[in-house]
Each structure stands twice: as structure tokens, then as C-alpha cells.
Amino acid sequence: MVINAPSSHEAPAPLSDRLRRSGLVLLAAAVSLLSLVILGDVAPARALLVFLCIAVAALVPLQLSRAAATRDGETNLRSVEGAAVRSIVAGMPDPAVLLDRVGRVLHINPAAAQLAPALRRNELALFALRSPEIIAALREAIATSQSQRATFVDRGPVERWMELIVTPVAVPTEFGGADNCFLMTFHDQTPLRRVEEMRVDFVANASHELRTPLAALSGFIDTLQGPARDDAKARERFLGIMHAQASRMARLIDDLLSLSRVELSAHVRPSTQIDVVPLLRQVVDGLEPLAGERQVTIETDLPASPVIIAGDSEELLRLFENLVENGLKYGASGGRVIVSLTSAANAEGAPEVRFSVRDFGPGIAPEHLPRLTERFYRVDVGDSRAQGGTGLGLALVKHIANRHGGRLIIESVAGKGATFTACFPQPKAIVEG
Ligand SMILES: Nc1ncnc2c1ncn2[C@@H]1O[C@H](COP(=O)(O)OP(=O)(O)O)[C@@H](O)[C@H]1O
Ligand SMILES: [Mg+2]
């Protein structure tokens, strides 16, 4: 990798060492010549001339290399401070490149070498970089000595949205003072972008879902005020539809509020100890009328003794209700739904409580399974709406399970029904007790 390759030309000894060595040479020359003058072997004028020649020979190359070092910024990496700067750049977790005042690469860390493999030490970064946004930002920073930002898409194996910041930095030199350099850092903005996209999608979906019943409501209001003003029969029918649409809006708002409440407390694990058996009985009893309507039998397999988990009873009720209701609505053709509660061990051997709902309906095709818990995702939007669905039920179920430290497993074989299982960790004390 570029970053680890040995430098093409080994750096000479630091300037300070060479200065010290030249001083010693001059001192030795002065002592020797003085001895020769005292011993009478050499005339004082000749000794002085020889000394001057030695001094010129020792100091001129030093002056030249000092000027060159200052000119091209190499000093930064040879001085003690330069080494510290290099270590800092190397240790930065984000891709980082240190450039001299004209944009030549002084140092590049491993993350940056991976992001821009064409960058080479001692070469101009502008020649190695291809993204027009980076080039423009770098040019501007060099021209104005002002910090610049740019965003660009890194089209590597996985597309990433990156932000580049070029900041002027003063790197101390060994002669005192500082060299103007530039620090280029890259930041991966992909997760933020994804969240932002999800937020935009969510607002668009929620508005669309609300607008549809709202449009129906205002349409019927217009009709009732206009053409159907004196038609008692039509009024009766329209009011029924309006009532259904208003209920749909209320359900949607209800689900949205529940979802945001669960999200708000996502990081606070509920601690109240709850026996889930009576909660489940309550849910099954409450859904018996729906089961009767859909001609589905609910079979329960619940333990006789209490099953305790740490939880929030309101949220658990919603979770059970959503899963059983889905089984009754979407799996109605199977004629039966089995609701069970069992204790088992998870992959790590920790005890957990498993609540599952199995139906024998049409099931769900495998391509839909990973997306079912996304907000507003439905296999068949028309069917869900006809059933009074909002598309938020499983998103809510997943959030509630997560908040309880649990997980949701969805299994289905198309044509043979579906099983939804919510697993919750069982408090240790309860298991032992
Ligand atoms: N038991 C099931 N059998 C078949 N499809 C199901 C089942 N449960 C859920 N689905 C599908 O998943 C979608 C999302 O469910 P959900 O989030 O509860 O939303 P909603 O019920 O409001 O439509 C449903 O619209 C349906 O297409
Ligand atoms: Mg549902």
C-alpha cells in the first residue's frame, strides 16, 4: 500500500544535527590552525585564509539546504514537531492527508490511502484526485488559505456519500515559526444521509396516507352541500363512508403517535415485572368478535402458571394485538390461528419467553419478508386498506420488541401460512426463583 511503502529517497540527517556537526568541524579546524601558527609552521595570514575556506565549505551547503527545506516544506516531516504531526495524521480514524502550501502530499494515513490510492507522498494531490468537487475545494483552499468543504460520492464497491474538509494548518518548523500546510479530512456521511432519506420518505408516506381519507372526506362534504343536499338516502350512505374514512385517519394518527412514543423511550428498558399470560388472554378475548366475523378459530396454547417478563403492559398489549389481528385478517383463509407462549433458550443459552402467532393463510413470499417491518410497507396496499390497516403495525411490533431487549422472527412458506414470533429475555431472578 502506498502509505507503507518506503520513501523513494531516504531523508538526510535532520538540519539541526548537521549544524551541530559543522560547528564541531569549524572548532577543530580553528584549534589546529591556531596550534600551527603558534608553533610557527604557518603564517597567520595563510592560516586565516585556510580557516575561511573551511568555513565557507561547511556552511554554504547548510544554508542552501535550509533554504530548500523552508521552500518545499520538507522540514515539517523531519523536525520533532513534524514527526508529531505525522503521528497525529496517521492516528486519525477518518481518512486524512497533510499537504504542503502548494498541495504536495506530505503525509497520508492508511484510511486515506485506501480511499484515494493514487495519492503519493511528495506528489501534487491535485494530479492524483479525480473528483471535480475535491479539486475545486483544494484549489480554493490553496488560493485563499481559507477552510473549504465539499461533498462528493465515492463510487467504490459500496457507494458512499463523503464530505471533504480542507483546513489550513500551521506546522511548526525547527527554525521557529511555522509552515502553512493543509489538512484534508474525509468524513463518511452515508449513515446520516440514509436517516435523512428515511425521514423524508416517512413524511411523504404519512402525508400521502392522511391525504387520501382527507380527500374522500372533503369530496363527500362538497357532495352533501351540493347535489346530494336533499337526498336523504345518499346522505345516509355518504355519512357511513365519511365515518369509515375518519376512523382510518384516527387509526393512522394513533399508530404514528404510538410509534413515536416507543421511539422516544427506545433506550430505556422497561423494568416492571409483568405476567404476560393474562395480557394474552385479554387480547384473545378482545379479538374473538373479529375472529367470528372472519370465521377463524383462535386456538391458544398458554401455560397455566404465570410467565413474568420485564415490560410495559400497554406496549405488550399493542404488540400481541397487532400480531393476532394480522393473523386473523391476512390468514383468514386458513380458518385457524394458533396463539402460543413458550419458554426456550436463545442462541447464547439465555432463557427467553416466546410468544408466537401461527396462521394457515396464503403466507408471505420470501422477497417481502425482510421489508415487512418497514413503516408503511405492505404486501398488498389495497388489501391492507380494505382491512383497515395502516402499514405501521409490524414496525410498531419490532420497535416494542427491541425496546424490551427482544426480537421479532418472521417465518413463512408461501401458500402455507405464516408464523410471527416475538422473543423476550426472561429476567434471571425469575428464572432461578
Ligand atoms: N399473517 C400474515 N399473513 C400474510 N401477510 C401478512 C401477515 N401479517 C402481515 N402481513 C403483511 O404485512 C403487511 C404489514 O403488516 P402491518 O405492518 O401489520 O400493517 P397493516 O396490517 O396495517 O397493513 C400487511 O399489509 C400484510 O401485507
Ligand atoms: Mg397490522
Range of the domain at 91: 86-188
**Ligand 2 centre distance from Cα of residue 324 (Å):** 9
Nearest CA to ligand 1 atom 12: 378
User: How many whole angstroms separate alpha carbon 50 and alpha carbon 122?
Assistant: 40
The pTM assigned to this predicted structure is 0.67
78 part of a folded domain: no
Cβ contacts of 57 within 8 Å, gap of 6 or more = none
Residue 394, ligand 1, Cβ within 6 A: yes
Closest CA relative to residue 374, chosen from 246, 197, 189 = 197
Mark which of 215, 244, 264 sits at the end of a domain. 264
Give the nearest ligand 1 atom to 388 CA. Answer: 22
**Ligand 2 centre distance from Cα of residue 364 (Å):** 14
Highest mean pLDDT among 116-125, 152-161, 353-362, 423-432: 353-362
Question: Mean pLDDT of all residues in the chain?
Answer: 87
Quote the pLDDT of residue 11.
Answer: 39
Quote the pLDDT of residue 59.
Answer: 72
Quote the pLDDT of residue 73.
Answer: 45
81 part of a folded domain: no
Q: Per-residue confidence at 16, pLDDT binned at 50, 70, 90?
A: low
Residue 34, ligand 1, Cβ within 6 A: no
Mark which of 219, 249, 264 sits at the end of a domain. 264
User: How many whole angstroms separate alpha carbon 296 and alpha carbon 20?
Assistant: 96
pLDDT digits (tens, 9 = 90+) for 288-325: 999 999 999 999 999 999 999 999 999 999 999 999 99
User: How many whole angstroms separate alpha carbon 113 and alpha carbon 191?
Assistant: 22
**Is the domain of 318 the same as that of 405?**
yes
**Is the domain of 302 the same as that of 349?**
yes
Checking phi first, is residue 406 left (phi over 0); if not, alpha (psi -120 to 50) or beta? beta
- Which residues make beta-bridge pairs with 108? 97
Give the nearest ligand 1 atom to 361 CA. Answer: 3
Residue 327, ligand 1, Cβ within 6 A: yes
**Is the domain of 342 the same as that of 411?**
yes
**Ligand 1 centre distance from Cα of residue 283 (Å):** 18
Question: What's the total number of domains in the chain?
Answer: 4
- Which phi and psi angles does 114 have, rounded to 5°? -75, -40
- What average pLDDT score do residues 141-157 get? 92
Quote the pLDDT of residue 78.
Answer: 54
Residue 326, ligand 1, Cβ within 6 A: yes
Nearest CA to ligand 1 atom 21: 389
Quote the pLDDT of residue 84.
Answer: 82
User: How many whole angstroms separate alpha carbon 142 and alpha carbon 183?
Assistant: 11
**Residue 412: CA count within 13 A, CB half-sphere:** 23
- What average pLDDT score do residues 223-236 get? 90
Give the per-residue SS3 of 286-310: HHHHHHHHCCCEEEEECCCCCCEEE
**Ligand 1 centre distance from Cα of residue 330 (Å):** 7
396 part of a folded domain: yes
Mark out the alpha helices in 190-231 (DSSP H runs): 190-225
Quote the pLDDT of residue 359.
Answer: 97
**For residues 41 and 146, which has the higher predicted lDDT (pLDDT)?**
146
**For residues 416 and 51, which has the higher predicted lDDT (pLDDT)?**
416
Between 25-34, 98-107, 177-186, 349-358, the lowest mean confidence (pLDDT) is in: 25-34
Closest CA relative to residue 383, chosen from 421, 326, 324 = 326
Distance spanning both ends of the chain, measured CA to CA: 58
**Is the domain of 15 the same as that of 149?**
no
